[in-house]
Structure formats: C-alpha cells, structure tokens
Structure 1
Amino acid sequence: MSAHHYDIAIVGGGMSGACLALALSRLSLTVALIEATPPDSSRHPAFDARAIALSAGSVQALERHGIWPSLAPLCEPITHIHVSDAGHLGQAHLSAAEYHLPALGQVIELSGAGLALQARLASAPGITLYCPMSLKAVQPEEARVNLTLSDGRSLTAGLLVAADGGHSFVREALKIPAERHDFGQSAVIATVKTAEAPGGRAFERFTAGGPLALLPMQEGLSSLVWSVPRAQADALAALPDGAFLAALQRAFGWRLGRIEQTGVRHVYPLIMTQVSWPVAQRTVLLGNAAHLLHPIAGQGFNLGMRDIDVLVRTVAEALAAGDDPGSHAVLCRYWQQRRDDQARTVWLTSSLAQLFSNDDLPLVAGRNLILTLMGRCQALKAPLARQTLGFGSL
C-alpha cells in the first residue's frame, strides 16, 4: 500500500501543534496531525491541570490566525501584574492602561483549551487527525519525509514539524542536539481560592526557594505555580490542605486576603531544554521540542506562539513565491527570524530563575534595587513589559 502524502505533517497535538495546524489550514494545505493521546483524556500531558498566561502578543497572533474566538470564552484577562521579592521592599507594577491595552494577557486552563482546539480541528479544512497514534519511525529524504505510525501505516510529508514536547521523539530520532539545565526545582501547581477575588491581578513573588506566581482565573479563582527546591516539592504538595494553605500564605502574603481553599496539587520538575539549531532536513522543531523554559514570567507557550506566527508567515511567503516550504533555504529563513528572540528569552528566563532563587546578600540587594528602580522609572520597566506582552517593541 502506498503512503499517503501531506504537504505538512505535525507530530504533537498539544497547544503548539494544534494551533499550528489550525493556522496552516487557512493556507489550503493538506496537514497530518499526529497525537498519541486524546485531548479529553486526563492523561494528556499537554492538556492537564495547569493554566497558562497568553501574552497580549499571543492573543493578537491567535486572532490573526482565526483561533482566538474558540479560546476567548475560556480566558480571564490580566489587567495588572505585581512583581515583588518576599521579605524585601523592591517591587514593580504593570497595568494594561499604561500601554493602552484592554489586557496585558489572558489566562486559560489547558484542559479546556484542549477540548476547544479539538472541536476546531474536527471541522478545519485540510487537516487529517491521527489520534490516538504515535510516531514510530522518521526518515527524511531529499524530497520528502517518510513517517511510520504506531499502527503500521506510512505517511510522507514535504515538511515535518516536531511539536512533540520536551521529550521529543523526533528530536531524538534525528539526533538533533539539545542543551539541558536542571534548575534543581519543581513547580507545585494548584488552583486556589482567596478571600478577595483577584479581579484581573496577577502576582509574581520571588521567595527564597524560587518564584511563586498567582494568575487570575474565571469564577474568582487563581492558578498557583510555586517553584520550590525539588527535595521539598513532593512533601509540600502532599501536605493536608490546611497546612499547605498556611505555608502558601506565609510565602505569598495577604495581597488577596486569606487563601481559603486549594485544589489537587501536581508537581512538575523544572529542567530547561534548548536546541541551538532546531532545523534539520525537511524538519523544524517547535514549542517545547525546541525550547522548554522555566515558568518564571510565563514565557513558554508565548515563545512557541511567536515561532508559530513566523513559521506560518514563512510558509505562506514560500507558497506565494513558488518555493518549496520544506526546503533548506525556506527553513533557514524561518530560523534567521526566530533565533535572536529564542536566545534572548531562554537567557532571560534562566537568569531570572537563578537570580531570584539565590539568598546571596549582594544579589538580594541588587535585585531589590532593580525592582525598586523599575517601579519608579518607565524606561527601566520597558524591557520587562516587552517580554511580558510578547511584543518586539513598545
């Protein structure tokens, strides 16, 4: 039986893979989307209990690609961001009004996002969904990429996009080198309820063990991302609710009043992965397959969304010029547009994670001076704002 051919095959149907497939479907291309786990499964690693913050830039990109209307009803806007260092005076604030925006970003639960994207994929033109199905073999050739699925079927594609996460099968199969850095931390994730509703306020608080973020969610709830030393994470997450809430109250403070309730806690190890050259023969790595970041400043999916935006534009330009979207020249054009942003974002998140998880007195004094100056000077705050908003300039 001959292999079925697609213009583009995407491995991984999480946020990055699903959004890319939907964006490409508007270019009248045939797209194969290969995903191992149905999005409505509680075991789906990409659509689990976490919530993520979509930057204002990501929201604009999702609007450009026609995806935002499916996600908007599930989102809670961020109108203010408060950054502080526990036990010290340094702090900074960002507000949507400062930048003439309706919101600095939007918070969405990944489980709901998965179902919404699945519904769109089911009706999008040109997309064939192979799910539940995994990739068992990949062999790039000069004119195509040969793929073998877990049920034995064979596919070919002009371009292969690996959006299959931090433990990317495609990256390993093609022996694309990746640098890893273990932060020695784990993130404790939970949904919490506070006496005072967040009302659009997001908080990034730096504690001795690592950064603690609270993101506003619908129904007056907040999503907690608490980075702590790995040796403490499991024990912290396993505490009875009362003891966990007391520990969280001590670390976060009283900006939202008493922290009254917590949902189930989940623990994720924090290990950075970066691919310095995420382009191979007729293949490009995208999202966490190319860069898995520390959650500080919420840059993970937002960096991936900028990758998606540029990749779709590069493919569209190649088609308009009569070029092959999977050719080496086209993929290099894509990477030339993305490498500086990727390198800068990886460096920034890693540096912040290490700077604000260190109790060395000169570093403590220095970071509090920085936060204090940022709180008083718009020019010094602009780099943080640019990164948070997901825009190249303000």
Structure 2
Amino acid sequence: MADFGATDVELENFRAEARAWLEANFPPELKGKAGQASEQDEGGEISPELALWRKRIGEKGWAVPTWPTEYGGGGLTPQQARVLQQEMARVGAFNPLMFGMGITMIGPTILDYGTEEQKRTHIPRIARGEVRWCVGYSEPNAGSDLASLQTRCEDMGDHYLINGQKIWTSGAQWSDWCGMLVRTDFSAKKHDGISFLLVDMHQPGIETRPIKLIAGASPFCETFFTDARAEKNGLLGELNRGWTVGKRLLQHERASQTAASGPGGGRQAPLTDLAKRYVGVDEKGRIADPDLRTRLARHEMDSRAHSLTLMRAFAESRGAGGATNTASVLKNSATNVAQTRAELTLEIMGHQGLGWEGEAFSADELQAVRGWLFGKAMSIYGGSAEIQNNIISKRILGLPDTTQST
C-alpha cells in the first residue's frame, strides 16, 4: 500500500490506471443505474451485467478500496480511493456492493476487533459480495436505549445458546450472517455484560418476519431467536465487553450514511434541471418560480457545504483510525439535505409527484414518491437525530450530560 504522502504524479498515474480498468471492466449498460445495486440486497434478481460487475470489482478489491489486500481489499490510500471514486463518477459507474451491511458496518468492525481467524474467514467473502449480513441491535423494549437489551446468551461449553427477539433488523430475511448484541451477564450493569456475536442465520432456531412499510418495501424484520446457536469463535471482541464493539459499529454505520444522497444512493440529476422541465423557465432562461429558485439555491449551498465538510472530516479521520464522533454531525446533515431534496422533488413534480402506480406516471415519478416516503426513516435509523444531538453535545462540544437521572 502506498503511503499517505502520494505525490500528484503518483495520483495521476493511478488515475490513468483506474480509468483504463473501468473502461475495460464496467458494463456500459449499467451507466447511471446505481439504483440497481441494491436489488440483490433486497432479495430481487439482478441482471447479468450487474452480476458481472459485482464479480469484477469484487475480485479487484475495489468495492472496498482501502481495505488490506491480504483480506481481499484494494489496499489503496484514501487519496487513491478518492481518485477511483471520481473516475467511477466520470463514466457513470458505481460500487455495486455499497448497500451491504457487510461492507458498511460488519466488515470494518471485524477489521477493528476481529481475530486473525475471523478476518480471514469473513472479510474476503464480504469484499467479494459473496455473503449478506444483517445487524441485530434494537429490541421491542430496547430502541434508543439499546443498552437495555434482553436477548439472552448462555455459555453451553462448546457453543453459545441465544434466546430473544430483535426488531428493525434490516435485510434479515435475506441475510446469511448476523452481527448482534446479546446479554451474557444479567448481574452486571446494563452497559456491561453485553457481548457481540457473529451468528449464522441459516439455522432452524432463527425466524424472520418482514415489516411492511408505508413506502411499499419490507427491508425491516422482526427476528426471533429460539435456542439459536453461535459458535465460540463467533465472539467478536472480549466477552461482556460488547458495548464497546457495538458503539464502534454504529460509528461505521453513521459514517456510511453521510453521503446525503438519500435512499437509492448514487449520483443524482441536478434539481435545477428537473425544475426547468416541470416548472418551466422565464424569458431569461431561469426557473419560472422565483421563490423556488431561492430555495433550490439554498439547498444547493447546504448540499455543497455538507460535501466539503465530509471531505474534510474524511481527511482528518485518517489519523483517528477511521470513523469518529464527527459522523454524528454528518449523519444529521446528510439526513437534512436528503429529506429536503425529496420534498423539493415532489413539489417540483406537482401532481405528477403524487402517484403510486399506473401508466400516468413515469418510473422516475413513482420512485420519487417511494423515495420521499422511505427517506423519512433516515431521521431514525442508525441512531435517531436526537441521539446524534446528544452525542454531539457530550462528546464533541463537551456539554454536561442531561440525559441521565440523578
């Protein structure tokens, strides 16, 4: 791996390498179709072109460009990864594995806390997109107060036995593995006695029940564990010290949710172009509605400010081992930008932004409605906006903790 001090010449040489590889390996039929990347992670069939692209980028290691090469990653520096991202955007390419929790949450956490055996067992398969992961955190009585979780884990000598329930388990019905928090010591204080386990989902002791959402999709599940089994080598980190591991995973999750692209991810067409098409232009070629022009300009400034702050935070995090508490700031910022964009999109489309089905609406119009509805969840998943504000106030601003009773 090259060091962080790569010269401009070295970066331009890598840019040429990345451009040539993308031209030779990215299927042109997929240009600008980043939305397809989530289809397999949502249980759907994928096109032959997408399957080929997943295979090629997985074998190259560029789906996880900065992960170590010995575990199937690309071994790139952050600067090289940024160049790769720029070159992918230039040709309309996208990371087809970007939506998986293996890449965004579980993989980075295993790299942080895993044994060598765990890294070599799980990381290469995650890097190649060969396995799907879900995360078992929230429970019916342990949502924002996650440390109150009650899913029981007993040491049976040669394995662990798990009984309990998780809720809002994204993609559990399609997952091969689950990274989950369980209580291994009921006599300890609630933040103690918690462990993090890697659990095989393909066993009779695990049942998933999808939860239907207002947007029409069912990515979330209730997940029930009845005498489910976890192997001893599935313990990630130390026994009864899983709260530390669990918090680190949440940092990685929030860091992955800072792109402000909203549901579906990928590059999005400028809202100004959409407004000119639906609202029309005046005699000077400007968007006809002056109030809408002002609000679009304000949104564009917020979006660009977020992007620049994200780049700065990413550069600063290199010396901090990756995700930091700054992810809480950016997670809330990304939520505000994405939700504002969704609201503006429906306003611009007018009555064409109110459809649910039927030939009177284009695929983009129908997706805009569903994206707007699903985007409301951004305020909650990965830790609610209020939880992020508490983290920001205590761990970044150093304000007193007013959330604990005396």
Under a length normalisation based on structure 1, what TM-score does the superposition of the two structures give?
0.30
Higher relative contact order (CA 8 A, sep 6+): 1
Larger Rg: 2
Under a length normalisation based on structure 2, what TM-score does the superposition of the two structures give?
0.29
